[in-house]
Structure 1
Amino acid sequence: MVLELVSTNKSFGGELRKYKFESNSLSLPTQFNIFLPSSSLSSSSSNPTPAPVLYYLAGLTCNEDTGPWKSGILASAAKHSLAVVFPDTSPRGAGIEGEEEDWDFGTGAGFYLNATSEKYKKNYRMYELITEELPRVLEGEKEINVDNSRVSLTGHSMGGHGSLSIYLKSKAGTYKSCSAFAPITNPTACPWGTKAFAGYLSSPSTEGPSHDATLLLPNVAFSPKILIDYGTSDNFFKQGQLLPEKFKEAARKKGLNGEEEVRVRSQEGYDHSYYFISTFVDEHVEFHAKYLKA
């Protein structure tokens, strides 16, 4: 695999790099950004150490640039010496009829699953990209000094759905922690999710639950470490797209509402925007650092 360095920017003492490669998962080229803290760089440290990794999964209409540009996460990552990986939100340029028609389906809206419908299953394999291919890519590049044994997940909206569902389907120890900003927590029961699953899955009614965090939580086989924030003035929350109350109830029924297990916090007056994310991102990075550096 040839990993092409597209750009490098110094930030908070570390480096934000954009890479491009031919993805086997997507059967297309894809790009990702990675922030590397100064402690992991040979150019900045006499004794560089591999950085723990936090994946940031962005939401609908976003791409690999949205998180590093808007979230404010780089300063916190630098403070805690964490690497942050920012994948794209979908394949690009698959040429599938209809994939460009709606903002909440197709391009920019991959929903972090492996599609099974005939139309989308060749290219829309974001779950495989995140959980298998990108970790291999990072491990195979000597200039990317990260510790793939210490990995956590965070995300926003559709990316919050991705971080939660990937985390809850993983084997114990694969990821140290998970957090989400305004996530789609119960996609089988909301318009965004039902639309996406109807397009991507060959049998939405039987396959959908395996991508639904609220339905996955009762059967999780390890002690989850999850932090969720959502705003009470978020219009998508008000429209029933996010359904955090359903996830919180599932956690309560499983006895997981302790401080060290599952926290679902409502933030008064905040909306769905990156102003909301940037307000609480420091707390989320600190949450992950506690487990990644334990």
Structure 2
Amino acid sequence: MHPLTPTDPCSPCGASVPAEVVAPTLRSEHACFGGVQRFYQHDSATIGLPMRFAVYQPPQAQQGPVPAVVYLAGLTCTEETFTVKAGAQRVAAELGLALLMPDTSPRGTDVPGQSDAWDFGVAAGFYLDATQAPWSAHWRMESYLLDELLPLLGEHLPISVRRLGLMGHSMGGHGALTLAYRHPDRFRSLSAFAPICAPMQCPWGQKAYTGYLGEDRSAWAAHDATELIRQRHASGLPPLFPQGILVDQGLADPFLAEQLHPHLLEQACSETAQPLTLRRHAAYDHGYYFIASFVEDHLRHHAASL
């Protein structure tokens, strides 16, 4: 099957690919476990700049659209980080899962100060739409992912956008948790590695939210996983993932105490009857050796619901 053959044109929840958006450009491809690892670029109408992403298509995609797991990477990362380091393709091929790895922020803007800090600006989009200038011009990662990239892939790749799981690491774990709760009809399964669980209560989140969203903490709460879980419960809605959320956390993670706060996510899930499996692992740190050690468990977790 040609990598850009339209296969699943129906987009979820009314989202659609704008007529002016053209098919993504294939930058490279590599045979991998009977499937193919591809890297793409396209001109994003939402971001206003070229954006890159990676897709692993398992061998089953040759027969038609397959379910997919979207992976959101962390600070300083690109679409290549998980793709190259996690070793996920072997299990994805076995399970018939496509893998989607978007980039972590806009790149190539003329915004002053965009590269001054490793935890804000370039490679630090936090998977939200900025409302504060100058970031609001291009830092629109939430709209980009949900309203542009996923419908685009459903239109041009053998991916069933009605059967999506969502996972991420660190900043991307925050993105997975918050986007799943902000868009409850879009994803069937959820997991995270060392996520930023309560960004309103940690330096990374406070810095990003002040810059991207301003000083109004009510706007911050709309992008805080622990707050979103409690808000859903307060609205009288049932747990979003009755089959459970899977989270892995290394106990040798240098960011655990100050930045990540998994105990706050655990507390919010306990209070709201949201099933959560939070696994704490002695000796594991924040990096990709940790992710590679447990990525198979996460893919099997998603496959069970997809």
1:17 matched to 2:38? The reply is: yes
Secondary structure at 1:103's aligned position in 2? coil
Question: Are the structure 2 counterparts of residues 180 and 76 from structure 1 closer, same or farther at C-alpha, using a change threshold of 3 Å?
Answer: same
Which residue does 1:243 correspond to in 2?
261
Which residue does 1:83 correspond to in 2?
98
> Using the alignment, how far apart are the partners of 1:270 and 1:255 within structure 2?
28
Judge conservation of contact 2:31–2:37 (CA < 8 Å) in 1: yes
Question: Are the structure 2 counterparts of residues 34 and 222 from structure 1 closer, same or farther at C-alpha, using a change threshold of 3 Å?
Answer: farther
Secondary structure at 1:62's aligned position in 2? coil
Which residue does 2:122 correspond to in 1?
107
Secondary structure at 1:96's aligned position in 2? coil
Of 19, 26, 31 in structure 2, the residue corresponding to residue 5 of structure 1 is: 26
Which residue does 1:208 correspond to in 2?
220
Which residue does 1:289 correspond to in 2?
303
Listed one character per residue, the Cα deviations across residues 172-213 of structure 1 (whole Å, up to 9, x for unaligned) are x42101100000010000000000001101344121000000
Listed one character per residue, the Cα deviations across residues 214-269 of structure 1 (whole Å, up to 9, x for unaligned) are 1111123343231111011100003x20000001011111122xxxx221111111
> Using the alignment, how far apart are the partners of 1:9 and 1:152 within structure 2?
24
Q: Give the alignment of 1:23-42 within 5 angstroms.
A: 23-41=44-62
Question: Are the structure 2 counterparts of residues 34 and 244 from structure 1 closer, same or farther at C-alpha, using a change threshold of 3 Å?
Answer: same
Which residue does 1:166 correspond to in 2?
179
1:280 matched to 2:294? The reply is: yes
Of 273, 281, 285 in structure 2, the residue corresponding to residue 267 of structure 1 is: 281
Secondary structure at 2:255's aligned position in 1? helix
Secondary structure at 1:280's aligned position in 2? helix
> Using the alignment, how far apart are the partners of 1:115 and 1:80 within structure 2?
36
Q: TM-score, normalization: structure 1? A: 0.92
**What amino acid is the match of 2:284?**
Y
Identity of aligned residues (%): 40
Secondary structure at 1:85's aligned position in 2? strand
Judge conservation of contact 1:156–1:180 (CA < 8 Å) in 2: yes
**What amino acid is the match of 1:91?**
P
Listed one character per residue, the Cα deviations across residues 58-82 of structure 1 (whole Å, up to 9, x for unaligned) are 0000000001101111111111000
Runs ≥4 residues deviating over 6 A:
none
Q: TM-score, normalization: structure 2? A: 0.89
User: Please, which runs of 5 or more residues in structure 1 have no aligned partner?
Assistant: 42-47
